[in-house]
Structure 1
Amino acid sequence: RALDSAIGFALGQLYVARYFPPSSRERTQAIFDQVRGTFRDRIRLLGWMSETTRAHALEKLDRLGTRIGYPDRWRDYSGLMIDRSSYVANVHRAQAHALAYDLAKIGQPVDPEEWFMTPQTVNAYYHPSKNEMVFPAGILQPSLF
């Protein structure tokens, strides 16, 4: 857990290389696109929904974004020194590196591509303010997927 919280995206890159080939990402996107199409068909058939609401719902559905598996751009850990002789020192340096990463974002434009969940995380979420669904590689593994 200490490593996951400190260098989670570096671990995620290794995890993806071993357990989540590009074909898995493509397959998951294809499934999501099928679900979106079915949802679109269902919205069109809803008798209780007004035409204005239906148009808004379909527009929102068309704008729904997905993030599948892993980020397109990996976080850079090149400035982090890892030394095999001291686990505790490594954890401290990793935490300091993570803090410096977060502090460097102050006063900068928000990165719309930044992931907030590592690829190995077994969870998924919908981000309402971005109208986006995120499916990390960890939840897209047997027996969950």
Structure 2
Amino acid sequence: MISLVGKYAYVKQENLVEFYKSLNVPEAFVDKLIPKINSLKEFKVDGYKVTITGNYEATYILDKEVDETNEYNYTLKSIAKMEGNKLIVTSRTPEQPNTTLKRVYESNDRELIITMSCQKTPVIAKYYYRRVLP
């Protein structure tokens, strides 16, 4: 997990627009969900607590369900787990408790890749960030 610790600058995305549209997110809102070039994301780890800051701050306690409220004041029920060098966050909404959104955070000494999937769509989306500080 230590390899996740650091700051990353957004570079590009794959299939984000298609992913959100396939989940019926309104087109006007989809543009707001795509990061601006060089926007920062930072990972901090303190024991079993993982904090991710960027457009909003999310703090996870490994293997425990937490409320995650995004910058649009939308709350998800999320559980974070470590599998090897990957942080996997599985989230659901109170409105659709049987639908899960999965985010996989994987980093190395050069980059961070966030892969998003949901069982409601076959579309897989990816965010790419370059490491700027260890």
Query: Under a length normalisation based on structure 2, what TM-score does the superposition of the two structures give?
Result: 0.31
Higher strand share: 2
Work out which of the two has the higher radius of gyration on C-alpha atoms and give 1 or 2.
1
Higher helix share: 1
**Which has the bigger relative contact order, CA under 8 A and spacing at least 6?**
1
